[in-house]
Amino acid sequence: MPVIEVTNLHKRYGDRIAVHDVSFRVERGEIFGILGPNGAGKTTTVECVAGLRVPDGGGVSVLGLDPRRDAARLRHRVGVQLQESQLPDRIRVREALDLYASFYRAPADRDRLLADLGLANQRNSAYRSLSGGQKQRLSIALALVGNPEVAILDELTTGLDPQGRLETWELVEQVRDRGVTVLLVTHLMAEAERLCDRIAVIDAGRVVAIDTPAGLVGRVVPEQRIRFRPDGELDDGLLADLPEVTSVRRVGGQVVVTGTGNVLHAVTSVLARSRIVVADLRLDQPTLDDALLRLIGPEADR
Amino acid sequence: MTGFGRILLVETRLQLRDIPMLVFSVALPTVILVLLGAVPALRRPDPLFEGHSLVAYLAPSLLIISLAMAGLNALPNVLAGYRERGVLRRLSTTPAAPVSLLAAQLVVNLAIAVLGAVLLIGVGRLFFGIPLPRAPFGFAVAFLLGTGALFALGLLVAAVARSTRTAAGLSTALNMSTMFLGGVYLPRFLLPDVVVRIGDVTPPGVRPLLDAWSGTPPQPAHLAIMATVTVLAGALAAKLFRWE
């Protein structure tokens, strides 16, 4: 049974349709990403999953329960980290954690949580004196203090510097390693690529694709590009004849080969057999960025 | 109201850390009383002040400072801030009920209002010969109903204000008019008669407080007005209040 199942979710705000038709299933123990441009309907989707909004159509099931009807039971089992939600200025880190822990039947070990989140030295600091990254980590701690089976994390690295982002990513991986199923909303490719086992790409309120990060890249942008500078004569036909190669071009002194599958191995084998030494060999592998660009178009078209 | 006890504890601590707010709401009325009471002439009874001394005559008005600061200033601004910053929304994703936070805020601010009143009455009695309220029961009823009316208005401000800025503007306007009508800025004998009459029955109702303090049972009509405001504003606030 999937931990989260969303079927044909539809949500309007007045005339504006935020979510047209979104379906996905999240399996136990995975980090499932919802990736898409701003305004694609990501947050609305997870808010329906979290029981904060009532869908206008379709179904949502979390741990086999209905987020609205069984809200009281689910709040014990699902931890939610919301975008742009803060705490009172004067509350202290440990105080906030103790307060939230008191809401749950079997809360997590707070000292360990603080240590895991790198907040042990800030335990007596007031919320307003924390840095952006510390606030974000406290917010994640609050989502985890109830020992949830599912954690919903919305845009968790927004406003963090690269170092803070990296630390937060490591943290989410630790959370998953504890057996928590994570539903992660992000608009950052790097974040999705690094963390997610699977990704649903959402654009304009619809799911465009669901796959692993590598699967998305391979499916949408199967081509790889190899560039090198041959030392000596090279007959382009040698490479063009290879089944993996789709094109061979010359750009200045460079040879640019595009192809699919294990094209790098095929090309380097031919070069080795022909005893051609190459310099500046580079393989441009498509990234999730490229895949997303193909899936939802460049920013300017949106 | 899951989590109420713990939330109340935390809200109390947060309030105690807000020193300027504590000074304004709890101590300010007593400080003013002490300053005025230091002038001997103002401690003598005078027909101008309905036979009381000026400090005794002003005490109910000074009481209004505590009530208005707690109910019309702190309460709506803190709640609007909690909503704007997503504190209430965040709480609604946990097993705790966000209404617990609202209730805790009411309790904390009520405690502040009571504390301010007790301090004022105690210092007035000990140092300036202002008698304790001579109709204690009537005074308690007038105090509770007047406070209830002010707090209900404060909740209404929190309910209708879409942002903390609007809440701050509305609460300041209400706060200042309440204090003016209650004779905080200008002693009531200097105010035009019509303003005094309006002030008599504007929450928290300086007339029923003064009556009960000097031993006359508060007029039922005055108390009824406070009760009506409490119920109407409270119901409207409950209907309009948004958690996000």
As for the ipTM of the complex, it is: 0.85
Taking only residues 95 to 114 of chain B, the set having a beta carbon closer than 8 angstroms to any beta carbon of chain A reads: 95-96
Distance between CA atoms of residues A257 and A239, nearest Å: 8
Chain A CB contacts of B101 under 8 Å are none
Helices B75-84 & B98-128 angle (0-180, nearest 10): 160
Which amino acid, A253?
G
Q: pLDDT value at position B51?
A: 79
- Beta pairing partners, A5: A25, A61
Residue A299 has pLDDT above 60, yes or no: no
Residue B115: band (very low, low, confident or very high) from pLDDT cuts 50, 70, 90 = very high
Q: How far is A90 from chain B (nearest CA, A)?
A: 6
Q: Is A38 on the interface with B (CB under 8 A)?
A: no
3-state secondary structure at position A52: coil
pLDDT tens sequence across A154-198: 888 877 788 878 888 888 898 888 889 999 998 888 888 889 999
Residues above pLDDT 90, as percent of chain B: 45
Q: pLDDT value at position A197?
A: 94
Residues above pLDDT 70, as percent of chain A: 97
A156-192: b or e for each residue (b if 16 or more CB lie within 10 Å)?
A: bbeebeeebbebbbebbeebbeeebbbbbbbbbbebb
Which residue has tokens 């094109």?
Answer: A247
Q: How far is A83 from chain B (nearest CA, A)?
A: 9
Residue A290: band (very low, low, confident or very high) from pLDDT cuts 50, 70, 90 = confident
> Nearest to residue B181, comparing CAs of B217, B214, B139, B209?
B209
More confident of the two residues B165 and B242: B165
Residue A62 has pLDDT above 70, yes or no: yes
Q: pLDDT value at position A193?
A: 86
Q: pLDDT value at position A33?
A: 94
Taking only residues 125 to 154 of chain A, the set having a beta carbon closer than 8 angstroms to any beta carbon of chain B reads: 142, 146
Residue of B nearest to A84 (CA): B86
Write the residue in B2, B6, B17 that is nearest to A99 by C-beta. B6
More confident of the two residues A164 and B177: B177
Q: pLDDT value at position A136?
A: 86
Q: pLDDT value at position A218?
A: 75
Span B159-170, mean pLDDT? 90
Residue B114 exposed, middle or buried by CB count within 10 Å (0-12, 13-18, 19+): middle
Q: pLDDT value at position A264?
A: 86
Residue A301 has pLDDT above 70, yes or no: no
- Beta pairing partners, A214: none
Q: Is B134 on the interface with A (CB under 8 A)?
A: no
Report CB contact under 8 Å: B95, A82: no
Q: Is A84 on the interface with B (CB under 8 A)?
A: yes
Residue of B nearest to A50 (CA): B93
Which of B140-149, B152-161, B188-197 bottoms out in mean pLDDT, i.e. has the lowest?
B188-197
Residue A100 has pLDDT above 90, yes or no: yes
Chain A CB contacts of B87 under 8 Å are 85-88
Residue A302 has pLDDT above 60, yes or no: no
Q: pLDDT value at position A298?
A: 58
Q: How far is A120 from chain B (nearest CA, A)?
A: 20
Residue B20 has pLDDT above 70, yes or no: yes
Model pTM score: 0.82
Distance between CA atoms of residues B176 and A85, nearest Å: 32
> Nearest to residue B26, comparing CAs of B58, B56, B69?
B69
Q: Is B12 on the interface with A (CB under 8 A)?
A: no
Q: Is A104 on the interface with B (CB under 8 A)?
A: yes
Helices B206-214 & B54-68 angle (0-180, nearest 10): 130
Distance between CA atoms of residues B116 and A120, nearest Å: 38
Which of B46-55, B116-125, B132-141, B232-241 bottoms out in mean pLDDT, i.e. has the lowest?
B46-55
> Nearest to residue B11, comparing CAs of B74, B67, B95, B73?
B74
Span B2-17, mean pLDDT? 90
Q: pLDDT value at position B112?
A: 93
Residue A243 has pLDDT above 80, yes or no: yes
B61: CB partners within 8 A, 6+ apart: B182, B183, B184, B187, B188, B206
Write the residue in B18, B92, B96 that is nearest to A90 by C-beta. B18
Q: pLDDT value at position A195?
A: 92
Q: pLDDT value at position B24?
A: 86
> Nearest to residue A239, comparing CAs of A268, A260, A261?
A268
pLDDT tens sequence across A70-82: 998 999 999 999 8
The CA-based dihedral angle spanning residues B61, B62, B66, B68, taken in that order and rounded to the nearest 10 degrees: 40
Report CB contact under 8 Å: A146, B95: yes
Which amino acid, B125?
R
A301: CB partners within 8 A, 6+ apart: none
Q: What residue ranges in chain A does DSSP mark as E strands?
A: 4-13, 16-26, 31-35, 57-62, 78-81, 150-154, 181-186, 198-203, 206-211, 224-231, 245-251, 254-259, 277-284
The mean pLDDT of chain A is 87
Residue B157 has pLDDT above 90, yes or no: yes
Residue B45 has pLDDT above 80, yes or no: yes
What is the helix (H) or strand (E) element at residue A137, kind and residue range? helix A132-144
Write the residue in B2, B10, B95 that is nearest to A91 by C-beta. B10
Residue B135 has pLDDT above 80, yes or no: yes
Q: Is B17 on the interface with A (CB under 8 A)?
A: yes
More confident of the two residues B171 and A283: B171
Q: pLDDT value at position A300?
A: 43
Chain B CB contacts of A86 under 8 Å are 85-87
Write the residue in B87, B89, B95 that is nearest to A75 by C-beta. B95
Residue A219: band (very low, low, confident or very high) from pLDDT cuts 50, 70, 90 = confident
Q: pLDDT value at position A3?
A: 92
Chain B CB contacts of A108 under 8 Å are none
